[in-house]
Structure 1
């Protein structure tokens, strides 16, 4: 009861910072919405007529595999460029400044897509929008982590991921509302809805959301950092000065241990971390998750489901409890066991889907089995493989090259995401390889390989501080010995440690 009251009191004291962080996660809706709405418009008749071609054999308009592949996957190219360049954007104009840039690109991307009467304009719009999403995917978590009260940081960063899921759901809901229109509004309205997000976000950035105090202090703008902290914490001089002291100390500590890109090319320490982070992100995408988020409605329609929009809505609702359960399981049972369990279950489900696709005579029972397996897939994927990969990647990226290691692993994630999105139509569609549900064999086999890789090469990082993880990599400890290895005391800068202790006490008393 006391702990509960203490948490409630802390929430009341820092309500401004919590409210601002909650507001900033509106950008995550953009991320999720953009990932899901396009799947719906690919099966809308007006869109197919606008960008497809007439097939005299069937007497109907069809959208070729190449058009599906290009227009769907081009956004991943923009996302890759946005994620990689976010390091430069953030360094030059800050987290808040970067969100202004992303909002500008959202508006430009939407205008190009809504007004497009040619394929080239649609592609340009998708590319611009992808760049915006790439910036958002890096800058919003950074902003929230910088500005959230320490006690609520984990919950607020997790809420960002939850809002991405709500954005996915919102995209399908809007598609479902417009799918029966016979004019271009069927697909142009979902495109235009994306303007709502910057229209809400930009005024808030101007009126009450400050720049990250950490970024301001890193740039030597102490007075502006104080003003930003007053926006976040109210007029509490003691708390503000404690934050200034603490953040400045951690920045100085990071500068003394500054790393370089070259260190990522040497296997001994940071090279091994870079390999593990990039490989783990690649395995996540090898599960084929993008064929569900980017082509789910196309997939369900192709196997004969008449209510594919409703199925896709349910597909985003069902796994939400699994996302929350993951937060408990990865701490209680560890990262490796949960990732191994998730990969094994995903592999089994995908192989069953592939097996169902080999049946010579299609029946409603088989179609329903495939739908059921895809639902189970989303649950077991979100139980660990989806969220836990980001947890492990961030923990492995310990040390002075942390931001560089995160940038490389995130870049690989977007690249592999593009690979899955680009190749899926060529594997699935009848005018290409015509594998249909048999694509499950490909992704299922990759998940078997991922299980073997995790078992032999991925270290267990749960229960370790970032400093301990850094020592384990420095000492070249094998993956299987990470959990049991005895790490000696990790000495820190006594002055900084004293500042950290004072800061923690100050915040706890408030």
Structure 2
């Protein structure tokens, strides 16, 4: 399908007498000419509802952050741990088991979530997951043994794992191209918000001397459910899902709820219908198996690769941030404050990334940020090798981790969610994101098993030397991303289908001509 070059403004409308082709051409031109400022004015509802659905990711990030910080909470250590060299600690084996709930949940939950998302839609799948989460929090709240807490974490993780598939899928399907990157990368900000709130809560409750030091943080998870459930009945369903189900009138009604009255929703609907038709014509299918057939194989590989890079470059250290800082030599109180600052920096960096993505594109930001992260990890490893660890080294290592997190949330963190949403064909988007999430979570399981044994004083006691490990893995990821990650900025979903169908090399995506137009002209 060609791209017709013509002028369009946000207020331009197509009359009912124009042909479907004219509506389609106008909608494509509208997408390319729409500025960020205009999109913010014309799609406030889409932005709001995308942000609302992404609250599920805050819940997903909040839970493991609580758990990671509780390992450094004196009352939790005393009630659930054992005495080691004069102080209580949670054994590496139990840390591994308890922390397994989140990554295992992402593997199973992500793969399972794709089925109800396709059968019942994004809206009701999200609602069901929130309801189940509200019920499962009871297990964590009343847990007074490691076994009970383990059951709560595993069952809760199965449901929480669904949110990381639902949020980017929904965000990518309810907004125009001009704000697509911002809303999908907002998923990363939700991770940061959840982790930041988890750190803030446990920083305050860590001083309590009874079971409320850990029961209260678990109870606060109900707040998210209380916020989400009343609004669930008003969430517009994804128009892309409705079109694939043949419910065109409902799709147009959903578009009207998501956009201003100045937007020609009939023209937007025409683009969705045409893109779906093109993907059926290209035999892209809609099953898990179809994610590995034809051009979808390359697209699934890219989604898996960029998502797995998050784990392989060292992001799972955040779950052990407070514990890592205490092992580096900081006082418990200072470690909690450092962990909060760690995530506050990530919050600011993610917001700054929204400015970047409309100026430098996805590929350049991802690769540049990853290269800087590799260097920082290696520096942390080198510092940890200094003999006798002179005063100030622990603060230097902690500061480098802070800087590392800044560049992570400036690049690999948010850009990953944009790429996995844009490279996936629309017919298999939920399943492609689910597969990428599951593979990333499998790597996460490996890290969950390995990290406690590498950093615990009663095990490997590596400390900052983990920088060598993650720096090396990050370097391998950088080589792969340079060769395989394409530039998807400024392309409609239909154009991306064409580029992948023509097997355009990753480094040629940006300037490739689609029916006579370069990426700069369209």
Q: For this structure pair, what is the TM-score category when the shorter chain's length is used for normalisation?
A: 0.7 to 0.9
Per the TM alignment, residue 245 of structure 1 is displaced from its structure 2 partner at its CA by 5.3
68, 82, 91: which one pairs with 1:53? 82
Q: Which residue of structure 2 aligns with residue 287 of structure 1?
A: 313
Secondary structure in 2 matching 1:319? helix
Secondary structure in 2 matching 1:386? helix
Q: 1:254 to 1:457 in 2, by over 3 A?
A: closer
- Residues 399 and 467 in structure 1, CA contact (< 8 A), matched pair in contact too: no
- Residues 74 and 418 in structure 1, CA contact (< 8 A), matched pair in contact too: no
- Residues 144 and 153 in structure 1, CA contact (< 8 A), matched pair in contact too: yes
Q: Distance in 1 between matches of 2:42 and 2:369?
A: 40
Q: 1:482 to 1:84 in 2, by over 3 A?
A: same
Q: Distance in 2 between matches of 1:277 and 1:258?
A: 20
Q: Distance in 1 between matches of 2:123 and 2:176?
A: 18
Please give the per-residue CA displacement for 1:62-114, whole angstroms capped at 9, x wherever unaligned.
21111111101222101221111111011222211111221122123311111
Per the TM alignment, residue 32 of structure 1 is displaced from its structure 2 partner at its CA by 2.9
- Residues 177 and 492 in structure 2, CA contact (< 8 A), matched pair in contact too: no
293, 303, 322: which one pairs with 1:277? 303
Q: Which residue of structure 2 aligns with residue 372 of structure 1?
A: 399
Q: Which residue of structure 1 aligns with residue 238 of structure 2?
A: 212
429, 433, 439: which one pairs with 2:460? 433
Q: Distance in 2 between matches of 1:11 and 1:154?
A: 13
Question: What are the within-5 Å matches in structure 2 for residues 297-316 of structure 1?
Answer: 297-306=322-331, 307-316=334-343
TM-score where L is the length of structure 2: 0.82
Report the RMSD for the aligned CA atoms in angstroms: 3.3
Q: Which residue of structure 1 aligns with residue 351 of structure 2?
A: 324
Q: Which residue of structure 1 aligns with residue 25 of structure 2?
A: none
Higher helix share: 1
Tell me whether 1:140 sits opposite 2:164 in the alignment: no
- Residues 252 and 269 in structure 2, CA contact (< 8 A), matched pair in contact too: yes
Q: Distance in 2 between matches of 1:452 and 1:7?
A: 32
Q: Which residue of structure 1 aligns with residue 135 of structure 2?
A: 108
- Residues 276 and 426 in structure 2, CA contact (< 8 A), matched pair in contact too: no
Question: What are the within-5 Å matches in structure 2 for residues 247-286 of structure 1?
Answer: 247-260=272-285, 261-262=288-289, 264-265=291-292, 269-286=295-312
- Residues 102 and 161 in structure 2, CA contact (< 8 A), matched pair in contact too: no
Q: Which residue of structure 2 aligns with residue 38 of structure 1?
A: 67
Secondary structure in 1 matching 2:100? helix
Question: What are the within-5 Å matches in structure 2 for residues 5-16 of structure 1?
Answer: 15-16=44-45
Per the TM alignment, residue 176 of structure 1 is displaced from its structure 2 partner at its CA by 1.1
Q: Which residue of structure 2 aligns with residue 99 of structure 1?
A: 126
Q: 1:106 to 1:404 in 2, by over 3 A?
A: closer
Tell me whether 1:65 sits opposite 2:96 in the alignment: no
- Residues 111 and 431 in structure 2, CA contact (< 8 A), matched pair in contact too: no
Q: Distance in 1 between matches of 2:494 and 2:146?
A: 51
Q: Distance in 2 between matches of 1:9 and 1:473?
A: 29
Please give the per-residue CA displacement for 1:240-297, whole angstroms capped at 9, x wherever unaligned.
656655545544444444424545546x6333333333233222211111112x1000
Please give the per-residue CA displacement for 1:384-417, whole angstroms capped at 9, x wherever unaligned.
1222233333343347554443332222222222
414, 419, 425: which one pairs with 1:387? 414
442, 445, 469: which one pairs with 1:418? 445
Corresponding pairs, count:
483
Q: Which residue of structure 1 aligns with residue 479 of structure 2?
A: 452
469, 472, 479: which one pairs with 1:442? 469
- Residues 254 and 400 in structure 1, CA contact (< 8 A), matched pair in contact too: yes
Per the TM alignment, residue 233 of structure 1 is displaced from its structure 2 partner at its CA by 5.8
Consecutive unaligned residues in structure 2, runs of 5 or more: 1-8, 12-34, 518-522
Q: 1:275 to 1:462 in 2, by over 3 A?
A: same
Q: Which residue of structure 1 aligns with residue 55 of structure 2?
A: 26
